[in-house]
Structure 1
């Protein structure tokens, strides 16, 4: 009995499915043709039927001849020499971002007081509590 007449197993079908998936990703097959070939693959009983599904597709390209560049993760940033104050390093960005929010709230409050021509409850004072607690936490060395 030749190989073509031998019955194919699930692992053989799965290998053909992987080749078809690669061909789809490379643009060699459209989605409709990929679906048809998948159906033929899962219905195949012999190696001849499996080989017929992929005869017109090129084999996998070896990595040495591939034009695709392998992924190289970016190098981790190295800390500058002499930089040792990690707990305080987050104070300025925190102060700039959240302090800006508090400033905008006070500006809105001030404009609403001017627009209504009366003193309105100073609700932006509540915005100062998280700002003060955040600054104390960062200056206290618990910068997490």
Structure 2
């Protein structure tokens, strides 16, 4: 049976319209003020006709097939935790090499370059995690 404009809408119907409005806001078709106004009206709406009026001036959006560009950008972005791990690795490596250099300059002979054993395994693990791991933040329920 087709949905007539007078039929009552469900919470799921309102959630789908909210997702469409968010997508149009993200694409710049409506401003944040318009989004907030429409969202307020959305949750007051009771029928399919009222829901349809909220998106009547907007093109249809297929939320299942979002643009690939945004997914590619997400893949390229590194999770903030991974950036922090690389920063910690760089700082610890730098400090160890400075200590090694000070010891080397104050000794009579060659000092084994032990900092490579600190930075090597740690760096390999970070590199593997960066290249093959999921660098996206975990979403809170």
Measure the CA separation in 1 of the matches of 2:3 and 2:65: 32
Residue equivalent to 2:8? 7
Q: For structure 1, which runs of at least 5 residues remain unmatched after alignment?
A: 75-93, 108-123, 125-130
- CA displacement at 1:98 relative to structure 2: 2.0
Give the superposed CA RMSD.
4.4
- Which shows bigger deviation, 1-10 or 45-54? 1-10
Q: Which residue number corresponds to residue 51 of structure 1? A: 52
- Distance in 1 separating the partners of 2:115 and 2:50: 73
2:97 to 81, 96, 99: 99
Question: For residue 31 of structure 2, what is the aligned residue in structure 1?
Answer: 30
1:138 corresponds to: 117
Contact 2:100 2:114 in 1 (8 A): no
SS of the equivalent of 1:57 reads coil
CA shift, 1:41, in A, is 0.5
After TM superposition, give the deviation of residue 15 of structure 1 in Å: 0.5
Q: CA deviation at 1:2?
A: 6.3
- Quick check: which has more Rg, 1 or 2? 1
Q: Is the 8 A contact 2:96 2:115 kept in 1?
A: no
Output the CA distance in 2 between the equivalents of 1:43 and 1:6.
15
Secondary structure of 1:3's counterpart equals: coil
TM-score by length of 2: 0.52
Q: If each structure's helix is expressed as a fraction of its own residues, which one has the higher value?
A: 2
TM-score after normalising by structure 1: 0.51
- The number of equivalent residue pairs is 99
